[in-house]
Amino acid sequence: MDDAEVKKISDLARLAVSENDLPLYRTQLSNIVHFVEKIASAETGGISPMAHPVSSALRMREDCITEGDERERFQSIAPSVEAGFYLVPQVIP
């Protein structure tokens, strides 16, 4: 993994990485990627991927309203709210 790749990944993950930290990340992430590449040698022809340990199917719920207005409670722990809205720096429309 090179610096550009670390930057691309940190951008996708929205994690600020300073120029100073780049070399450490590059080394550590490269080592980990190298480590996990061992799986390439497993023989997986004809094997279906496993996403869940549970083999049953998805359960569905009835279409009922079970949740009411809890804005006050939920927003009491929010960093920045106004008039019931969560505030963020201006979003470019």
Contact residues toward another protein (CB under 8 A) are 1, 5-6, 8-10, 12-17, 25, 28-29, 31-33, 35-40, 42, 44, 47-54, 56-67, 69-71, 73-75, 77-80, 82-93
By beta-carbon proximity to another protein, the closer residue of 19 and 57 is 57
**Alpha-carbon separation of residue 89 from 72, 75, 79 (angstroms):** 22, 18, 13
C-alpha–C-alpha distance, residues 31 and 38, integer Å: 12
Query: To the nearest whole angstrom, how small is the minimum distance from the Cβ of residue 19 to another protein?
Result: 13
Alpha-carbon Rg for the chain, nearest whole angstrom, is 22
Minimum CB distance to another protein, residue 3 (Å): 13
